[in-house]
Structure 1
Amino acid sequence: MILFGTVVNVLLIVAGAFIGRFLHNIPERMKETVMYGIGLAVAVIGIQMTFESTQILIVIISIVVGAVIGEWMDLDKKVNDLGHWMESKIPASDKGPGIAQGFVTATLIFVVGSMAIIGAIDSGLRNDHDVLVMKGIIDGFTAIILSSTLGIGVAFAAIPVFFYQGIITLFSTQISRFVPDDLLNFFISEMTATGGLMILAIGLNLIGLTKVRVANLIPGILVVGVAVTIVHFF
């Protein structure tokens, strides 16, 4: 099955999120310290990802232009509205913290990164699911930690992961046919770096140092695709 890797990834995220919910009854002081620890770890991951860039100007332009588009579309409000709708469908005892925070935080961590793209392409081109299965194991453990503090909203991140990786997998044959390997590698490195800045912002938000509307930065990923194409051909 061509989507086997993506399905495994999604199931492990959901399983991890529900396991994490059994750990939510820890003392508030401990939960606060754990949250700070998660925030610091996420921030470090974001910094490491940012160093993947070979053209930092592309990252800066993508973040700035993406932020303008995101603010104009007010994506952060739309995501929070979706979170509130999810909350209305979930029993009060199962909600934990706000759904939107867990959903946005987990989605960006699970989706942004080279493993999602490379793994999805391997699944589509070679029917090799090893990368996505490995990513699923990592995501599963991450989901346990995140959901123990951010609530069941982390489980809903499995939905965009399924569509994002699934679409890349299904269209990977066309991607390889029309996109040169050097351009694809260029895009992956700059997309990873741009996503790293978003993940850094998530980490700083979790620590409480900032209140960045990270969802409004998401269009920056699309800007990366346009920017690297222009640089590659011109």
Structure 2
Amino acid sequence: MITGTIVNTIAVTAGSLIGITFGSRIKTKTKDAVVKALGLAVLVLGMKMSFVNHDFLPGLVSLVLGTGIGEFLDIEIKLDKTGKYLQEKTGSNSGTFVLGFITATVLFCVGSMTIVGAIKDGLNNDPSVLYVKSLLDGISSIILASTLGIGVIFSAIFVFVYQGLLSLLASKATFLLSEEVYVNGISLVGGIIILGIGLNMLELTKIKTANMLPALFIIPFMDFIFKLF
């Protein structure tokens, strides 16, 4: 039922370990350049995800409501505190520990591939989508960990918990796979959040992307409501 999530967790962990092992051999100047390049790639990924056949208004409403809820719950602050706690427990003196942890956690847990893949795994025992995601996340974790450090590996915990819970609750969310509009809606909102991650990596903004995550769960209901009118 959560086979895909287990594989995804292992891929992120293994990729992070590889990145950490060889990252120390990379000069700081090179690391900065790679982070910027990765930021541009994340921007392109976000744009690709958001350019789908879907009305923008439901997505906008979902982002406004979701971000409002995220700000109220202080999701970003809680992740930041979690990152700092993990850093203290591991004794790491990395200046990018928390950044790596939050960036990787949000990046690996956002997007239609995450939600739809977890639902298909739990509902139909079909982990194929998450296998593809595992490959992508594994490669990304190598790059992130080599530049942002050991904090990235702890995102594997959230991948396991988040995707695992989605798979276990899949029977309650079968409608997400019934029509293309729901999948596209998640892709639209997820793409915009990922755009925010890319801008943060380029140090152009300091968007609290974690606070936008509730929008991913609001958009399917917004789509349902908009379909009624």
CA distance in 1: counterparts of 2:137 and 2:12, whole angstroms: 6
Unaligned runs of 5+ in 1: none
- What residue is the counterpart of 1:3 in the other structure? 2
- What residue is the counterpart of 1:170 in the other structure? 168
- What residue is the counterpart of 1:78 in the other structure? 78
Q: Contact conserved, 1:97 with 1:149, CA < 8 A, in 2?
A: no
Q: CA 1:179–1:233 in 2, change beyond 3 Å: closer, same or farther?
A: farther
- What residue is the counterpart of 1:199 in the other structure? 194
Q: Contact conserved, 1:204 with 1:210, CA < 8 A, in 2?
A: yes
1:181 aligned residue (168, 178, 181): 178
SS class of match (2:88): helix
**Amino acid corresponding to residue 144 of structure 2 in structure 1:** L
- What residue is the counterpart of 2:87 in the other structure? 87
How big is each residue's C-alpha offset from its partner over 1:126-178, in whole Å with a ceiling of 9 and x where there is no partner? 322222122111111110001111112211211222122222222333433x6
- What residue is the counterpart of 1:229 in the other structure? 224
**Amino acid corresponding to residue 78 of structure 1 in structure 2:** K
- What residue is the counterpart of 2:95 in the other structure? 97
Q: Contact conserved, 1:125 with 1:172, CA < 8 A, in 2?
A: yes
Q: CA 1:179–1:39 in 2, change beyond 3 Å: closer, same or farther?
A: closer
TM-score when normalising by structure 2:
0.91
CA distance in 2: counterparts of 1:203 and 1:179, whole angstroms: 27
Where does 1:41-52 land on structure 2 (aligned, <5 Å)?
41-52=41-52
**Does residue 111 of structure 2 align to residue 113 of structure 1?**
yes
1:129 aligned residue (127, 130, 150): 127
Q: Contact conserved, 1:110 with 1:161, CA < 8 A, in 2?
A: yes
Measure how far apart 1:8 and its partner are. Answer: 0.7
How big is each residue's C-alpha offset from its partner over 1:174-226, in whole Å with a ceiling of 9 and x where there is no partner? 433x66712xx322211111111111111111111111111221222232133
CA distance in 1: counterparts of 2:189 and 2:53, whole angstroms: 8
CA distance in 2: counterparts of 1:53 and 1:198, whole angstroms: 18
Q: CA 1:179–1:66 in 2, change beyond 3 Å: closer, same or farther?
A: closer
Q: Contact conserved, 1:83 with 1:98, CA < 8 A, in 2?
A: no
**Does residue 67 of structure 2 align to residue 67 of structure 1?**
yes
**Structure 1 consecutive aligned stretches of length 4 or more whose deviation exceeds 4 Å:** none
Q: CA 1:218–1:175 in 2, change beyond 3 Å: closer, same or farther?
A: closer
How big is each residue's C-alpha offset from its partner over 1:13-57, in whole Å with a ceiling of 9 and x where there is no partner? 011011100122211111111111010000110111111251111
Q: Contact conserved, 2:42 with 2:195, CA < 8 A, in 1?
A: yes
Q: Contact conserved, 1:53 with 1:192, CA < 8 A, in 2?
A: no
CA distance in 2: counterparts of 1:53 and 1:150, whole angstroms: 35
Q: Contact conserved, 2:176 with 2:220, CA < 8 A, in 1?
A: no
RMSD: 1.9
CA distance in 2: counterparts of 1:5 and 1:128, whole angstroms: 8
**Amino acid corresponding to residue 84 of structure 1 in structure 2:** K
Q: Aligned pair count?
A: 228
**Amino acid corresponding to residue 178 of structure 2 in structure 1:** D
